[in-house]
Structure 1
Amino acid sequence: MSRFDLTKTVMRQGVWQGVLTARAGEGDAPEIAVTHLGNPVAGVSVTAQDAPGRWALRVPIPAEAVADGVQTLLITDQASGAQLGHVTLIAGEALGDDIRAEIDLLRAELDMLKRAFRRHCRETS
């Protein structure tokens, strides 16, 4: 179990940002590791905030993580080895095909529901 809770705040200009909050009784600065496909992500920073037990986490998105398909960056607490969170990036043509297929399925289900509702209305009136 991790000593910290992680809350995403924003992702802007290729940098994912969040806030680490220490759980009760934990006050030491966190040691955070971020990996993509098992490789460490460079440039990760943890900065103390004004409130005790809170740190700002900044994770620059590596260029190799911007690719077709689904890419995931894992954020872990090095001291405990617990996963604190993840950043998921989805991009490319494969995504477009998936979304179009999902929309087609939703349309088919909606048409089926409309037919069933109309049949029900005819039968009960």
Structure 2
Amino acid sequence: MNEVTLTKTRLFEGVWEGVLTRAGEGDFTPDIEVTHQQEPVAGVEVTSKPDEQLWVVRVPVPLEKIADGVQTFVIRDRKSGEVLESFALLAGDVLSYDIRAEMALLREELDLLKRAFRRHCLDTM
């Protein structure tokens, strides 16, 4: 079984960057999906570094997604549906209420769990 780990390295000039590593043998090609409010984010780059056995993940934050409030981005493995990482942008008056960022993340994860549960129920019928 492949255990995939995504670790944030920085958020710089509107691009979230992280390092993807894997524990396991055999061929593996990451299939990363980034969503914001359950809509895919375009321009995600996954670059292989075979000498170091890792991948560099770059997620550009779309300008149209920057707004007042909490904007949560969820990064997951498309094959397994596993959430690898997430990040939130806070702007405007919401900064004094950082609990909202946690609530937005919980909502995203709950929606993911609901979809996975429904898919599981359909598959077992």
| TM-score (ref. length: structure 1) | 0.70
Amino acid in structure 1 at the alignment position of 2:59: V
Report the more deviating stretch, 28-37 or 87-96: 87-96
Aligned residue for 1:28? 28
* Structure 2 Cα separation of the partners of residues 26 and 72 of structure 1: 33
- Does 2:86 align with 1:59? no
Give how far 1:51 is off: 3.1
Tell me the amino acid that sits aligned with residue 72 of structure 1.
T
Distance of 1:88 and 1:70 partners within structure 2 = 6
> What is the match of residue 81 of structure 1?
81
Kept in 2, the 8 Å contact 1:5–1:84? The answer is yes
Deviation string, structure 1 residues 32-72 (Cα, Å, up to 9, x no partner): 00000111000000001143530000000012321111110
Aligned counterparts of 2:34 and 2:48: Cα–Cα separation in 1? 18
Gaps of 5+ in 1: 100-125
**Max radius of gyration: which structure?**
1
Q: Which residue of the partner structure matches residue 69 of structure 2?
A: 69
- Mapped partners of 2:58, 2:16: distance in 1: 6
Secondary structure at 1:64's aligned position in 2? Answer: helix
The aligned amino acid for 2:87 is V
The answer to whether the 8 Å contact 2:70/2:89 transfers is yes
Query: SS at the partner of 1:95?
Result: helix
Of 40-49 and 85-94, deviating more is 85-94
Report the number of matched residues. 98
Corresponding residue of 2:48: 48
CA RMSD between the two structures? 2.0
Secondary structure at the aligned position of 2:88 is classed as: strand
Q: Is the 8 A contact 1:26 1:53 kept in 2?
A: no
Consecutive unaligned residues of structure 2, counting only runs of 5 or more, are 99-125
Tell me if the contact between 1:3 and 1:26 (Cα under 8 Å) persists in the aligned partners: no
Q: How much identity, in percent, do the aligned residues show?
A: 46
Separation of aligned partners in 2, 1:48 and 1:94: 37
* Amino acid across the alignment from 1:60: P
